[in-house]
């Protein structure tokens, strides 16, 4: 168990350092670009990926329970995200919920009726200002594009932890470990989109990316965690998200979730994909 936690900790530190370097590079490039009188940053397309995006979250907010979820992990249900953000009917929400349960059982062997696992819908609070700062080949304004994040979450509540099954048979995870399946809904903003009355243009400013956990999300003692998710988008196909979060509390009691998340399509780059 200590070996597993050490591996995850080393992975987290490596990912977070890499993501900070990428973010700092993009910020410097953006500042240089904006200083030249431009109003938005158009990033180049990487040679080994068809599409790359970078999300960040760095705004102080008031947390209900130390999490970044609307109404907290236990009290929240995510129904606003499913019904109002994603526009799902009650029947569609039930279908989405069952798909999430089936996924959690198949991949991780979670027992969702034992009481060891808490299962619920969730929605990341808009107060954290989760947003796109980089989208390869596109002009992203300085304020970025809003990212709505929500779906379904399972969390280990047994104080002794649980033994996983499915693709992770034989793996023991501690309490607080999380598993997710959901959607990113990106809302692009630009003068063109704001001024256009054409329905086709309105639809172009919405991007939906489906995601599901590739690995269990292990939370460290300081609240930090790394996330690895499989992605799917209708235009870009399969992808991968690798993110890191290092939350901390400010002197006034508010939290900063301090998230960096890199998304790539395809998952592993063009040179690697044929060899998988």
Q: Which residues contact 127 (CB under 8 A, 6 or more apart)?
A: 59, 61, 62
Better-predicted residue by pLDDT, 13 or 113: 113
In the predicted structure, residue 6 carries a pLDDT above the cut 60: no
DSSP 9-57: HHHHHHHHHHHHHHHHHHHHHHHHHHHTT-SSEEPPPPTT-SEEEEEEE
Q: Is the dihedral of CA 228, 182, 163, 167 positive or negative?
A: negative
| pLDDT confidence band for 9 (50 / 70 / 90) | low
Q: Model confidence over 181-238: pLDDT tens digits?
A: 999 999 998 654 444 444 444 557 999 999 999 999 999 999 999 999 999 999 999 9
């Amino acid at each position: 168990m200590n070996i597993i936690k050490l591996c995850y900790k080393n992975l987290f530190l490596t990912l977070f350092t890499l993501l900070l370097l990428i973010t700092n590079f993009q910020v410097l490039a953006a500042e240089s670009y904006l200083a030249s009188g431009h109003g938005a940053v158009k990033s180049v397309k990487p040679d080994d990926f068809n599409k790359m995006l970078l999300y960040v979250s760095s705004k102080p907010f008031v947390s209900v329970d130390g999490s970044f979820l609307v109404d907290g992990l236990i009290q929240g249900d995510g129904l606003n995200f499913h019904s109002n953000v994603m526009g799902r009917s009650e029947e569609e929400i039930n279908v989405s919920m069952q798909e999430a349960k089936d996924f959690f059982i198949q991949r991780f062997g979670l027992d969702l009726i034992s009481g060891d696992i808490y299962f619920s819908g969730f929605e990341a609070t808009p107060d954290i200002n989760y947003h796109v700062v980089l989208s390869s080949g596109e002009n992203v304004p300085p304020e970025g594009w809003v990212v709505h994040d929500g779906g379904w979450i399972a969390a280990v509540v047994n104080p002794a932890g649980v033994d996983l099954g499915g693709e992770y048979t034989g793996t023991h995870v501690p309490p607080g470990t999380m598993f997710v399946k959901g959607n990113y809904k990106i809302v692009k903003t630009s003068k063109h989109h704001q001024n256009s009355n054409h329905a086709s243009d309105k639809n172009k400013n919405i991007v939906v990316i489906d995601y599901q956990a590739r690995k269990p999300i292990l939370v460290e003692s300081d609240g930090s965690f790394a996330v690895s998710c499989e992605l799917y988008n209708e235009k870009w196909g399969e992808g991968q998200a690798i993110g890191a979060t290092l939350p901390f509390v400010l002197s006034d009691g508010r939290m900063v979730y301090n998230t960096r998340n890199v998304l790539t399509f395809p998952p592993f780059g063009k040179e690697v994909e044929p060899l998988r």
